[in-house]
Amino acid sequence: MAYHINEIYLLTAENVRILDHNKMKLLFSFILCLLAGCGTPDQIYLHGNIPIKAPFYIDVYNTHTGTRVLSDTICSNNINQQIGILPKGIYQLIVSWDRDILRPQEVERFARQPELGPPKYFISTTFWLDAIESDNYKLLLDSSYQQAELQELLMARNAGESIKMKVISDGKNNRIYNKYLALVDHYKTENRHQKDSLLQSAHYSGLKLIEDLEPSNALLAKDWLVNVKAKLVKDEIDFMKNNIDNEVISYIYHIQVNSEVDFERYREVYNLFPISVKKNLAVWNGNN
């Protein structure tokens, strides 16, 4: 009996020792998690200053899922908004505010479909977000605008294409994505300038239709958009190839490739992706 009691005592003591050892391991792991953050994304904050009389509205969408992840009314020119814990990816930010001027067709549309709400002024951009890289994002405009100036540009024929807004952070992928947006904006500007040049040529020729221009201008009218797009695609491909090791590139690629024609156009980019990225792209496409 004493032997069994001693054996039980030894087993109990060993269990207590193992339990204490496991407790210490758990405690040590917990401390490491606190120090390292356990890979858990932080809360993400959006900061900025918009020269618009409050209130105005901000909406943030995940471009991959189409889900709106934030919708809020801002009651101050200074934005200091917590936007939660979000998965990394490309997001769209929309800043809007109420319009005091409506076009006749907009009044008619609102009368027919009041559920859509009255028209608003909109400025939008997309940006790369990754809480591991950075939990602070800053909204910037490309110039010091007054509200009246913004509204005049937004009501113009080009609907505010000249207004540039971006969201920056100190993350590497965010910087690369903003360089990509600058590349695209360059071609949008070139596109707009060529279009304006064609319209001016028509005006100075006393003509109303681009089709009636001189043969050289008519050829330009037919091909200018195709040429601009071809140059853009080439520069996009070069940009993606030069930055292929950065995670944001697969997200840009996924947005750009929506058909077999697109796939062939960007095939040389796809061929450079590692197997893991190709598998992710296959999953994303399968979920769409």
pLDDT at 99: 87
- Tens of pLDDT, residue by residue over 235-263, are 999 999 999 999 999 999 999 999 999 99
Buried b (16+ CB within 10 A) or exposed e, 196-220: eebeebbeeeeeeebeebeeebeeb
- pLDDT classification of 17: cutoffs 50, 70, 90: very low
Average pLDDT over residues 81-92: 94
pLDDT at 112: 81
pLDDT at 97: 95
- pLDDT classification of 33: cutoffs 50, 70, 90: very low
Residue 147 or residue 1, greater confidence: 147
Mean pLDDT score of the chain:
79
Query: Comparing C-alpha atoms, which of 65, 70, 68 is closest to residue 89?
Result: 65
pLDDT at 107: 76
